[in-house]
Every structure is written in structure tokens, then in C-alpha cells.
């Protein structure tokens, strides 16, 4: 059984492996021992906080564990509110009009403006599923369970949530958009800039990033072509978020120009469709013909658990085997939040 739970200190080696396997452009998982250990510590502190009334700098990091082998299948996270302790940068796509009535010339030009518009919103982040587990709706489960967490503990998060999607780069870490920035402003390659940002050393952005709007028409064609585009490996994740109600509103990453998508939490499909039900224990898991895959989670913080189970739509109760209930920290009569996959 694959169970999603809060990350623990003992998961460091698995988290490091995920960082290595995720490759270039995966900013939230840099290959840095100290940073990964701090991320685990921050997550443990966030889950331990009680009576949280408003979102702060809490960082919730989860792992998907194969309970039969103890192997970590993937990782997934939520930031309660970004940009509160350090600036959170984006480029905002906009337009300016150059018009001369006398000469009958009218030009509408696209611009990129540096901004901090998403300060204070929540963020879905650090989603990575290891190759052997990319089947059986595991990717959807590892992403969408976070919507249940947002719904169950809404006071811990902003009314709006974003997700930064990995932009276009090659296997060596070269980014067409960054190549232009590197040539004119930064004098460092994309992997180094991405790494510095990932470990939280972002002062160089304010120091070296162009401060005035950039006319995209002045960029080389290969840089313009990737603005708002995602890495091939990120397309399934983007499609899933779009099905939840996330939309691109013209904000892109300052390094690779990958799109950032946004949504109002209450309008997310999994939030709207999730319901609270009671648990009833049975001798063996549900295997009826009309039982379909669902995501289920308990309603606890420190002992949070989520997993994929089969459930009959319309049933007032969720039937679980004793083994399933034990792995989800549930007992007869406990309440759970559930949504169809």
C-alpha cells in the first residue's frame, strides 16, 4: 500500500535521491545536504504547530511510502505563504502601446516586468514521483491529495494557491531564456543560478536582474519561443492542475520563463467535490464492481495520512480493512475526507 505522510528525519536519503533524479530546473529540490535537512526540519515544525489561525512561513513536505518495502516513492509539498521572509520574484507579461496618430502607426508590444505580486499566497511545490511508481494513478494521488489537505486545514493557507511549472531546458541544464539573461546581465550558467535560488541565496536576483520592463521583441527568437512553456516532463503535471481549475495569468519564472498557474482554493475541483464521511471497518478491502479509485485522508495534522482506496460512490460510509485503517491512523467511526480520482 502506498501511503502519503509527513516527512521525517529518517527520510533524508530518499529525499536526496529524489533531488538527484529530478534533474535540472527542479528548483525546490537542489542537491544540497544542508538545505534538504533544513527543509525536513521546517516541515516537522509546521506539522507540530497547533491552533494555526493564519498562514505564515510554514512549509509542509510529504512523502509517499510503499508500506510493504519501506521505500519512498515520491515527495510533494505545500508552502503556506510565499515571500514573507524573502522576496518571491516573477516576471509579469504585459503590453505597452506605441501609437502615433500623425504617422498612423500603432504598435502593441509585449513586455516582461519584474514583480512580487504573489507574495503571501500558498504554493503547491516539490512534486516528484520516482520512475518505478509512475503507474496506477500514483502521480495523480501524490498531487491531488494536497487539495484535500488545503480543504481540511483551510485556516493554515491563503485563499489563493499557485504552482510554478518547470520551464524549457535541455538535459545539460541549458535554458534558452536564461541564455539571454546570462549573456547580458548575470555571467553565470542556468544550473548555478537555479541552484543558488533553490538554496535560498536570492540576493543576486535583486542585484543583477534588469529592473526595467523588457521588450520581448528584443529577445532572440529561441528565448521568446519558450516564454510560458513547460518542460516536456512537466506537461502531465500541468494538465492535471488545469483539470483542477488552475489557470495561467501571465506570470513566468525569472530563470527559465516557465509558467506559474493560479487558482482560488475554494474553486479547486477536488476541494469542491471532497466530502467528509465516517469509517467502518470490514474484513477485507472493498472490491465491488462499482467501487472506483478515490483519494482518502484522515483529519489529523501531525499524524496525517492519505492514500488511494476503492470506494462506492454514494455510500454514506467508507469501508476499510483493519490493515488499511491502521496504516491511515484510523479507527471505527473516525471521519475522513474523500474525493474520487
Give catalytic residues, as residue numbers.
231
Q: Return d(Cα 147, Cα 169) in angstroms, integer.
A: 29
Residues in the chain, total:
341
- Do strands 122-129 and 160-164 pair parallel, antiparallel, or not at all (unpaired)? parallel
Grid cell listed for 279: 469509517
Q: Return d(Cα 257, Cα 216) in angstroms, integer.
A: 12
Residues with Cβ within 8 Å of 218's Cβ and at least 6 positions away in sequence, in order, are none
For residues 188-216, b (16+ Cβ closer than 10 Å) or e, as one string?
Answer: ebbbebbbbbbbeebeebeeeeeeebbeb
Q: Return d(Cα 75, Cα 333) in angstroms, integer.
A: 30
How big is the chain by its Cα radius of gyration, in Å?
A: 22
The label of the residue with cell 488499511 reads 324
| Selection from 114, 116, 121, 152 nearest residue 297 by Cα | 152
Amino acid at each position: 500500500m502506498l501511503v502519503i505522510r509527513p516527512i521525517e528525519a529518517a527520510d533524508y536519503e530518499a529525499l536526496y535521491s529524489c533531488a538527484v533524479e529530478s534533474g535540472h530546473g527542479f528548483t525546490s529540490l537542489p542537491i544540497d545536504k544542508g538545505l534538504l535537512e533544513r527543509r525536513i526540519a521546517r516541515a516537522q515544525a509546521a506539522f507540530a504547530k497547533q491552533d494555526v489561525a493564519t498562514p505564515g512561513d510554514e512549509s509542509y513536505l510529504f512523502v509517499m511510502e510503499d508500506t510493504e518495502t519501506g521505500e519512498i516513492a515520491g515527495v510533494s509539498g505545500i508552502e503556506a505563504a510565499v515571500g514573507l521572509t524573502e522576496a518571491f520574484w516573477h516576471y509579469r507579461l504585459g503590453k505597452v502601446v506605441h501609437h502615433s496618430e500623425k504617422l498612423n502607426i500603432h504598435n502593441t508590444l509585449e513586455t516582461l516586468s519584474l514583480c512580487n505580486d504573489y507574495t503571501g499566497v500558498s504554493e503547491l511545490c516539490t512534486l516528484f514521483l520516482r520512475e518505478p511508481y509512475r503507474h496506477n494513478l500514483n502521480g495523480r494521488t501524490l498531487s491531488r491529495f494536497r487539495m484535500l489537505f488545503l480543504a481540511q486545514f483551510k485556516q493554515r493557507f491563503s485563499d489563493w494557491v499557485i504552482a510554478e511549472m518547470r520551464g524549457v531546458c535541455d538535459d545539460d541544464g541549458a535554458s534558452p531564456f536564461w541564455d539571454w539573461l546570462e549573456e547580458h546581465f548575470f555571467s553565470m550558467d542556468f544550473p548555478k543560478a537555479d541552484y543558488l535560488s533553490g538554496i535560498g541565496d536570492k540576493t543576486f536576483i535583486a542585484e543583477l536582474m534588469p529592473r526595467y520592463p523588457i521588450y520581448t521583441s528584443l529577445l532572440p527568437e529561441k528565448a521568446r519561443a519558450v516564454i510560458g512553456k513547460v518542460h516536456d516532463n512537466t506537461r502531465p503535471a500541468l494538465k492535471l492542475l488545469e483539470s483542477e481549475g488552475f489557470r495561467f495569468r501571465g506570470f513566468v519564472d525569472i530563470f527559465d520563463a516557465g509558467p506559474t498557474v493560479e487558482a482560488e482554493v475554494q474553486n479547486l475541483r477536488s476541494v469542491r467535490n471532497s466530502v467528509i464521511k465516517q469509517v467502518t471497518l470490514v474484513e477485507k478491502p472493498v472490491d465491488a464492481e462499482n467501487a472506483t479509485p478515490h483519494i482518502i485522508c484522515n483529519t489529523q495534522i501531525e499524524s496525517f495520512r492519505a492514500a488511494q482506496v476503492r470506494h462506492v460512490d454514494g455510500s454514506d460510509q467508507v469501508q476499510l480493512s483493519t490493515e488499511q485503517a491502521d496504516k491511515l491512523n484510523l479507527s471505527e467511526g473516525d471521519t475522513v475526507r474523500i474525493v474520487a480520482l
